[in-house]
Chains A and B, each alone.
Chain A
Amino acid sequence: MQDPAPLVTEAHDRVRRMYAADLGRAKEELSTPALLLDLDILRANLAFMAEHMAGVPVDLRAHVKVHKSPHIARLQVEHGATGVGCATVWEAIVMARAGIRDVMVINEVVGAERLRALALLAREAEVKVAADDPVHVDLLSDAATAAGSTIGVVVDVDEGMHRCGVASPEEALALAQRIDAAPGLRFAGLTGYEGHCSLEFDEAKRHVMAREAMALLTGIAARLAEAGLPCQIVSAAGTGTWEVTSRYPGVTEIQPGSYATMDGHHRGLDPRFGWATTVLASVISRRSDRIILDAGSKTVGAAQGVLADPPLEKFRFDEEHAIFLADDTCGLQIGDTVEINCNYTPFAVSYFEAYHVVEDGRVADVWPVLPRGPESQGLLDMLERGA
């Protein structure tokens, strides 16, 4: 892995300057709300995954859309991930500049700016992207040809979630042939996401559903191989199905993301991974029957969160407030801090610009959330300038 480029080091310096006073402080003393990342729990999650991956002939492509952190992504690579998966072109640019060579946008890309950015990025990194329509292939081919680069393209297969993806082997084959023949493109294989399985909390049923999805995906891969288009990559899975999918013959890589930072939803699917991210909040009002915290749906997210220590019952989440029931047996007073465990971490990450990285109860570092929003924020210009 290369060293991070200025894009990442400058963002890191900026948030370290912003929160300079917090470095070294005990987490209880931080200004709130703050997004905390427990480094020990994160490392344990990554090590647990690495240990499993060592025993299966499958690669790990860590999906970074959950955390949007080049620093966490680098740790994932240090723990054996062979590349990263991204939801947007902008995430892919950041991850490539974080020093990660193999980046795949596991999503369909259209739009002139984004196609141009992807094609320019392919000059400096091994870039792959998903497609499910001949129009994507033509757009990507034009962009790659104009930029003088080669983009790897995987055919996106609808494994039963009914979002993006081709639905039949015939469609997949026709698309793979078109990619194979298109200038500037390289047919790289298949991707699918069995996201519908992650809504099934009964593990046995979920595994049956995941195996059905993998039968579909690997069946298409076999069909393409027969037609002379072998799939270098057959990629699938999320944190709800990573283990069962990693053992399915014919799958070459898994693409989970939430396993690193975790949240309530994913712990319901796999409690072996620990809750590495929380939102630190302060008690700003203390009534006889309740406490009011200064973190609500604008920080924790629409999926809200729970208090584990102390384990209080939720009354309500508002935009800037969370209210928990607390009678006089609860010792919390105005100014005390507590950690809210998010039910869905991606929402919280979208609302913060930095993680307070906690080790042994103190702030060891501050890491940027990058890219933060849906916009280019100068990333295309940066690539155009060759900077």
Chain B
Amino acid sequence: MRSLATDSTWPMLDLSTPALVVDLDVFDANVGAMARLIADTGKTVRPHVKTHRTPELARRQLGGPAVGLTCATVGEAESMLEVGLDDLLIANEVVDEAKIDRVAAMARGAGVTVAVDDAAPAEALSRSAVRAGSTVGVLIDVDILLHRCGVGSVDEALALAAVIERLPGVELRGIMGYEGRVRLTDPDREGHIARAYEALTKTATALRAAGFRVDTVSAAGTSTLREALADPVITEVQAGVYALMEPELLVMDLPFKCAVSLRGTVISRHPGRIVLDAGRRVVGMEYGAPTPIGFEAHSIVMGDEHATITMDDPLPELGSQLALVPGQVRTTFNLHDHVWVTRRGEVVDSWPISARGSSQ
């Protein structure tokens, strides 16, 4: 496995391992590159915090065209609100009463919007908001490609909008859809994206024609960023990974670089092979083994607590540290309590991943 090509130096750091590290210089450059990409499009970006679940990183993504944050769970939203980040979209369905009450309570002191795809949770949300004395925004979730949540037809969207319009305490703010990661290797990439945005366009047009307000059309992730920015119907993008990046997205024509590394220590050393103290309990494995930085490997096999790496001589010494870039940063962050922060190759801080485990 070739070392990740990168402008950064990935200096060795004196940390107890396994340790998660974000290069803040690269992170800031990614945030700046997003602002430049989106400038002059008239659109906004609402960075998705499920990527890192770290309020201090989220705070640094805001400003300019970044108007607020996207969350996947109520717990993530609460963690952001706790540090004063108060324009929050929960781009997911919330159905149980305890969670609906938490959403309604948050909306007393913050701008809170949630996704809905069914009348019953919208009605429950309305009752809860009325009790709490708050107003909760809602976006109708449209199934545009993923076959996950979301209404499946324009008629369903119209019927749901009519229900929402009659409910006190909730306010229809528009629609959302999420097309998921669409890779360059997808043989019908253009078709998939075009049909997804066509579904959004049809739904927005029909709702507006029926007299409903559709201020927001929220969609897209980092992999579809260029297509989303070029599409007239979309008003805001929900990308998140752009700020930290994942190796598999580097093949795309995007101005973002990898900002996250996982540091491990060589704990065992044998002819042609070393073992690091960093395994699947600290690295998200959904996209396979992590990528080496600063060294070349023949193979990396991940155990729960170990990375077994085959490589040519000279092997690194026992006790030396190596860096790996996780294939999946979102699940990787969810395995750590804090992230080390570097500037110009020096550790300058450690920030809590306060929404770690906040899947409720």
Contact = CB atoms under 8 A, between A and B. Distances in A.
Interface of A: 31-34, 65, 87-88, 107-111, 113-114, 132-133, 135-136, 139, 156, 158, 162-165, 167, 195, 282-288, 290, 292, 294-295, 297-299, 302, 315-316, 318-321, 323, 334-335, 346-347, 350-353, 372-377
B90 to A, nearest CB: 11
B25 interface: no
21 contacts: A31-B99, A33-B359, A88-B305, A108-B275, A110-B265, A110-B266, A132-B268, A195-B303, A284-B92, A285-B117, A285-B149, A287-B143, A302-B286, A315-B147, A318-B148, A319-B50, A350-B335, A351-B357, A373-B282, A375-B19, A375-B338
Contacts of B275: 108, 163-164
A297 B327 CA distance: 14
A347 to B, nearest CB: 7
Interface residues of B, number: 61
A334 B95 contact: yes
Interface in B301-360: 303-306, 308, 318-319, 328, 330-331, 334-338, 356-357, 359-360
B319 A111 contact: yes
Interface string B137-171: 00000010011111010000000000000000000
Given A282-B96, A295-B359, A318-B148, A372 B337 contact: yes
A32 B72 CA distance: 14
Contacts of A377: 337
Given A299-B359, A319-B72, A372-B337, A135 B319 contact: yes
B120 A347 contact: no
B273 A107 contact: no
B284 interface: yes
B233 to A, nearest CB: 23
A43 B61 CA distance: 49
Contacts of B180: 318
Nearest to A113: B16
A282 to B, nearest CB: 6
Given A163-B308, A285-B117, A346-B281, A108 B267 contact: yes
A320 B337 contact: no
B93 interface: yes
Which residue, of A156, A298, A302, A319, has the highest number of chain B Cβ atoms within 10 A?
A298
A317 B92 CA distance: 15
Interface string B21-60: 0000000000000000000000000000010000000000
B285 interface: yes
A347 B282 CA distance: 10
A302 B280 contact: yes
Contacts of A372: 337
A320 B73 contact: yes
Nearest to B156: A287
B18 interface: yes
B288 to A, nearest CB: 10
A350 B282 CA distance: 8
Given A32-B360, A292-B148, A335-B95, A110 B267 contact: yes
A31 B96 contact: yes
A376 B331 contact: no
A375 B336 contact: yes
Given A284-B95, A299-B359, A323-B147, A374 B18 contact: yes
Given A285-B149, A302-B284, A302-B286, A376 B16 contact: yes
B268 A164 contact: yes
B216 interface: no
Interface in B258-278: 265-270, 273, 275, 277-278
Given A284-B93, A334-B118, A335-B95, A374 B282 contact: yes
Contacts of A114: 16
A320 B286 CA distance: 13
A65 B93 CA distance: 34
Contacts of A135: 318-319
A352 B358 CA distance: 9
A372 B335 CA distance: 9
